[in-house]
Amino acid sequence: MADSIASPTPTDRPVYVIGGGPGGLSVAHALRARGLRAVVLEKSDRAGASWRRHYDRLHLHTTRRLSGLPGLPMPRRFGRWVARDDVSRYLEKYAEFHDLEIVTGVEVSRVEPAPDGSGWLLHATGGRELTGAAVVVATGHNHTPRIPDWPGLDTYSGEFLHAGEYRNPAPYADRDVLVVGIGNTGAEIAVDLVEGGASRVRLAVRTVPHIVRRSTAGWPAQRTSILVRRLPVGLVDRLARPVAKLSVPDLSAQGLPRPETGLYSRVKEGAIPVLDVGLIDAVRKGRIEIVAAVDGFEDGKVLLADGTRVSPDAVIAATGYVRALEGLVGHLDVLDARGKPVAQGARTPANAPGLYFTGYTNPISGNLREMAIDAQRIAKAVARGADGDRDGGRRVSRLPV
């Protein structure tokens, strides 16, 4: 890995990749495989560092075979469902194996068109100003914790933390914990707390999710997701209903009725199904109690949407993340109203040729798999313009032969 950034010539510039996670690393390798110089700028001290900040229990919900990045499969010894630490090891090995050019400790704060009209100017830590022929933004879908603007939270004196700060259940043994949010993270943390000895675990739910078995009779849900992804939404909704009734018990009595909206319709709205890693059994046995959504905080208590007030020992908000791209590229008119890039993968925004985004969707077919596919497409698109034929005449630095 590099510890400094070389200054390219004005007409011969590298592709800068912002972010050293799986999306950024896979793009860097795909570019390098085409003979193009890619420099990864990573704000932490090593590649894939963000994975080490996830909770201890975390395993991929996608299979090992369908989660490897281009040019290096995940080792069989990692097992079918790869653990967090093994993902981190894999990403570090990936960077080393492909001899990627990575500069750590550099955070990019703003991207704008280069003054000479050719390429992009990046403003980074230490007053650096870097000019690249193209830029790939890969800072991650889960970038900045999102906490709803709940009334009274600023004066709440109880223990409160975002799920991004949760590591393991040890601090919550024999304690009453309220987990807010029933996405995959909230569901898994709730199970972790139950298995780790919490005295009571409640899970606050605003919108009932679709729950899918991670694997049925050895067949992973991810493979089904890949098969149906291109089918009409209505058809997938209809196919999913009988499968759900056969594989997932009715949890209405426990507070989790079957959703009225179809599974794939919800996916298209941005709601990924919850992949079961123990939630169903824990809810059926009453070890996880389903309660109404959180509406606010008052006098040391948590106010729920059904009017109930509860006093847990700790509140863990599994309320998701925001992409936080506004400061970086918001001035370029390349984000939609929700802060999501208007173009991703090999497509660039019409008003920003040479600016690419990867990793800002949450596909049911698997994030790592889709980022690996995106990497190849982005590299192909950049290579087509590497000699100045497209995208404003920028030339991309080539690797020594």
The string of DSSP codes covering 189-248 is HHHHHHHTT-SEEEEEESSPPPEEESEETTEEHHHHHHHHTTS-HHHHHHHHHHHHHHHS
Spacing of C-alpha 394 from chain mean position: 31
CATH architecture of residue range(s) 146-317? 3-Layer(bba) Sandwich (3.50)
Q: From first to last of the 401 residues of the chain, give the pLDDT tens digit.
A: 554 454 444 457 999 999 999 999 999 999 999 999 999 999 999 998 888 889 999 999 999 999 999 999 999 999 999 999 999 999 999 999 999 999 999 999 999 999 988 899 999 998 999 999 999 999 988 888 999 999 999 999 999 999 999 999 999 999 999 999 999 999 999 999 999 999 999 999 999 999 999 998 899 999 999 999 889 999 999 999 999 999 999 999 999 999 999 999 999 888 899 999 999 999 999 999 999 999 999 999 999 999 999 999 999 999 999 899 999 999 999 999 999 999 999 999 999 999 999 999 888 899 999 999 999 999 999 998 765 544 444 578 888 75
Domain boundaries, the chain: 15-143+323-384, 146-317
**Paired sense of beta strands 355-357 and 176-180, if any:** unpaired
CA separation for the pair 167, 64 (Å, rounded): 23
Find out whether 153 and 292 touch, Cβ atoms under 8 Å: no
For 15-143+323-384, CATH gives: 3.50.50.60
pLDDT score for 253 = 97
Phi and psi (nearest 5°) for 176? -95, 120
Residue type (1 letter), 338: R
Tell me the β-bridge partners of 220.
215
In order of 1, 6, 327, the CA distances from 127 in angstroms are 21, 15, 16
Whether 15-143+323-384 and 146-317 share one fold: the answer is yes
Closest C-alpha to 112, from 103, 124, 122, 104: 122
pLDDT score for 10 = 47
Element (H, E) at 41: strand 38-42
Alpha helix (H) ranges present in 213-350?
A: 221-228, 233-247, 263-268, 279-284, 326-329
pLDDT score for 393 = 46
Residue 190 structure tokens: 């709730």
CA separation for the pair 15, 17 (Å, rounded): 6
pLDDT score for 291 = 98
pLDDT score for 387 = 57
**Total-model pTM:** 0.91
